[in-house]
Structure 1
Amino acid sequence: MQLLNVVLVIFLIVCAIAVERTKDLLGAVIIYAAYGLVMAVLWLFMKAPDIALTEAAIGAGVTAILFIGVISRTRRME
């Protein structure tokens, strides 16, 4: 279990760096949603299911949908 936590934290750091470096906005939103889901899994491993559920619903779900909606209404430049 400890190794899985380390792998997830490393993936979380890679996602955070990738969001910052990605030029494509839609790609950044998808990576951000993956970040939110991994964060929810980490909260679940820390035995905080209420925070994990909130992170999954708001952090990965609602925020990603709002970002995609905003991107669809603007012009995408790559």
Structure 2
Amino acid sequence: MSVYRTLYVRTLAAVQQRKLAVRDIACASALPEARIVSILEGEARDITLTELAGLCTALGMPPAALLRSA
């Protein structure tokens, strides 16, 4: 599984489990809502470390948890 696919699957699962809205994630991560949607739809590429850190902050997860292969 690619890194992008792993990030997509793990992020989407975490968002659904926590029942978070895109707006909530955007506020907590300091990322634009459009970028969050792109990540949650599995379309995002060239994800920066800043974006990864923002997602991790918003989800309360360490980066390894979002990038670890199944």
Taking structure 1 as the reference length, what is the TM-score of the superposition? 0.31
Larger radius of gyration: 1
Q: Which has the higher helix share?
A: 1
Q: Which has the higher contact order (CA 8 A, sep 6+)?
A: 2
Taking structure 2 as the reference length, what is the TM-score of the superposition? 0.34
